[in-house]
Structure 1
Amino acid sequence: MATKAGAGEQPAPRPRRRLRAEERWEQILTVSAELFSSKGYHGASLDDIGERLGIQKAALYHYVRSKEDILVEIYDRMLTRAEAEVLPIADEPFAPDERLRRMVSRYIGLMIEQADMWSLIHHQQNALPEASYEATLRRKRAFEKKFEGVVREGQASGLFKPMPTRLMVLSLFGMCNYVHHWIRFADFAEEEITGVICEVLERGFIDDGGKRVGAWPRYAETSDAMTETAARLDALNRQVKELQAAFDRDRHRLIDGFAGPPAANGAARKEKGEEVQAAPASGRKAAGAKPRVVKPAK
């Protein structure tokens, strides 16, 4: 039978769960990205990474040989994900402006999800080994060209302004690529960020961009776009019905309070020696017409 530990005794430490190799590798990448982003690639060491993870440097060497291995892996992983999730949108069956909105939206979403890793992508490229550096440049250029293709389609159809395509796309990336930095201290929702950026782009890109009243959020179904407005319209209709009922009630109160009964009016006129001739039973009396008064002959 188990006995209780004495007052001076400490409970036995729980055994630490041994991480699988895949889990540990993910931890290494995440912690490394945080340290490289905060201290700079050259300011962070493998010792710093091991200390943050709570493992010895010798154990870390079981997974990586150098910081370069980690940096190369982060670059490959982030670019591969962007290529897989953003570039296919360029071939979807939508107008060029809609495809561009969706591409920009997804690209910004990726940076918001993993800001530390995208910080490395944009600022630590020169730390890559030469072969990886050249390969990364080619992949980035191919990524940009896909955006340029969509913009050219929009220009050919007269949708986008006839400005230098390459310069337009570089300006687009100049706006998007800095999100990873200010998202750390600017408290905005992802939908609001993408909405503002898309609208700013459209007002500059689209030939009639000044006529637009908003580019975001994007909805999966057409009916979703009207949910909020429909709810407000229902509330407004309820208010109108309530006001109409109040108006009818007040109108009847006025009639009951100020309009004298017809019998009383007729009696008052007879006292003055006047005869009130009733309107014919058939036919409609003209609106606003007064009953004809016939005075007795003298």
Structure 2
Amino acid sequence: MMIRDDRTSEPETGGARRRAILEIAARLFARKGYRGTSMRDIGEAAGVQGGSLYHHIRSKDALFVELHHAALDEAERRIAQAASQQLEPWARLEAACAALLEIQLDPDSLTMPMMNDFREVPATVRTALIERRDRFETRFRDLVANLPLPPELDRSIYRNLLLSQLNSAADWVRPGRLSPRDIAEQIARVFRHDISTG
């Protein structure tokens, strides 16, 4: 996951230090989850003592939200790039599915845990995460809107079933047999089943 620091008023050394802290925090959150990671853990791992950490980070909640949003920004960028290389609607959907699966199934991914760790965060944090996730899913809403689906098929149900399969892939995919691209092709075939024959 690429961490961007848009605080241009901060000296370069401060910006670089903050980016390093964000990278360390992202790895800790990915490994230990929201609840299992404390500001003290982050400070110790980053070599920043006590109150000095709060010079760079306002709070654990704000930090988690920032990292979650950065994870979705990166995922959205990769999905948009993959889909934009295809012209046909089904090919665009399959490319987007493959890009999301590559993120979800990467064992070293920081993005996937940040995207999926909603269970243990406080309600105010969860609200911010859900709002950003809903904006992220607009990408798939647009892709599904352009598919030649039968008029009686509810596109919202279709999209949610598709995203449920993609987002839970790490729970049911066994590594080694099929690549993320192969799995995306299979999922796209299942979701296209019988549509062309009416």
Q: Does 1:167 align with 2:157?
A: yes
Report the equivalent of 1:149. Answer: 142
Query: Per the alignment, in what secondary structure is the counterpart of residue 40 of structure 1?
Result: helix
CA shift at 1:67, angstroms? 0.8
Q: Does 1:38 align with 2:31?
A: yes
Report the equivalent of 1:127. Answer: 121
After superposition, the C-alpha distances for 1:257-298 in whole angstroms (9 at most, x for unaligned) are xxxxxxxxxxxxxxxxxxxxxxxxxxxxxxxxxxxxxxxxxx
Bigger RCO of structures 1 and 2 (CA < 8 A, at least 6 apart): 2
The 8 Å contact of residues 65 and 129 in structure 2, kept in 1 or not, is answered as no
The 8 Å contact of residues 118 and 126 in structure 2, kept in 1 or not, is answered as no
CA shift at 1:70, angstroms? 1.3
The 8 Å contact of residues 148 and 169 in structure 1, kept in 2 or not, is answered as yes
TM-score by length of 2: 0.71
Query: Per the alignment, in what secondary structure is the counterpart of residue 182 of structure 2?
Result: helix
Q: 1:106 aligns with which of 99, 112, 115?
A: 99
Structure 2 residue runs of 5 or longer lacking an equivalent are 1-11
Q: Which amino acid aligns with 1:69?
A: A
The 8 Å contact of residues 90 and 100 in structure 1, kept in 2 or not, is answered as yes
Report the equivalent of 1:115. Answer: 109
Change (3 A) 1:65 1:180: farther
TM-score by length of 1: 0.51
CA shift at 1:97, angstroms? 0.6
- Percent identity, aligned pairs only, is 25
Q: 2:186 aligns with which of 179, 185, 200?
A: 200
Paired with 1:207 and 1:179, the residues of 2 have a C-alpha distance of: 20
Query: Per the alignment, in what secondary structure is the counterpart of residue 35 of structure 2?
Result: coil
Change (3 A) 1:61 1:144: closer
CA shift at 1:180, angstroms? 5.7
Report the equivalent of 1:97. Answer: 90
CA shift at 1:76, angstroms? 1.9
Structure 1 residue runs of 5 or longer lacking an equivalent are 1-18, 210-298
After superposition, the C-alpha distances for 1:105-145 in whole angstroms (9 at most, x for unaligned) are 22233443862342122123762673x64454333223324
The 8 Å contact of residues 90 and 146 in structure 1, kept in 2 or not, is answered as no
CA shift at 1:176, angstroms? 1.9
Q: Which amino acid aligns with 1:202?
A: A
Alignment of 1:3-82 (within 5 A): 20-82=13-75
After superposition, the C-alpha distances for 1:147-190 in whole angstroms (9 at most, x for unaligned) are 2332243234x6xx96432222222222222356789xx6549x
Q: CA RMSD in A?
A: 3.4
Radius of gyration: which is bigger?
Answer: 1
Q: Which amino acid aligns with 1:22?
A: G
Query: Per the alignment, in what secondary structure is the counterpart of residue 173 of structure 1?
Result: helix
Aligned pairs, number: 183
Q: 1:139 aligns with which of 132, 135, 143?
A: 132
Change (3 A) 1:91 1:203: closer
Greater than 6 Å deviation, 4+ residue runs: none
Paired with 1:20 and 1:188, the residues of 2 have a C-alpha distance of: 42
